[in-house]
Amino acid sequence: MLSEETQKDILLRLKKISGQISGIAKMVDHPRLCVDILNQIGAVRAALDQVGFIILENHLKVCLPEAKSPPHRREAIDELIAVLKRLL
């Protein structure tokens, strides 16, 4: 589970990302240089990667240690590996 502070941080970041995506849509609608649009896409990707890292860090520090028995820990690790394979 995410702490209240971490949850607030992530939600704030996602709202900013949402604004960036809206900005990209406007850039496409009101033609801008392709390079400018690509730079904004890169910024959104980096921001999303940062959100993902925050959640991953929380999972490693909070969720995995809560898996008390070795079989549950192994399941949690396998689940995390599967998610990371899809992301990377």
Q: How many helices (H) and strands (E) does the chain have?
A: 4, 0
* pLDDT greater than 90 at residue 1: no
Q: Which residue has the tokens 């589970």?
A: 1
The dihedral over CA atoms of 20, 22, 23, 24, expressed in degrees to the nearest 10, equals: 90
- Are 68 and 80 a contacting pair, CB within 8 Å? no
For domain 4-87, give the fold: Methane Monooxygenase Hydroxylase; Chain G, domain 1 (1.20.58)
Q: How confident is the model over 16-55, as pLDDT tens digits?
A: 999 999 999 999 999 999 999 999 999 999 999 999 999 9
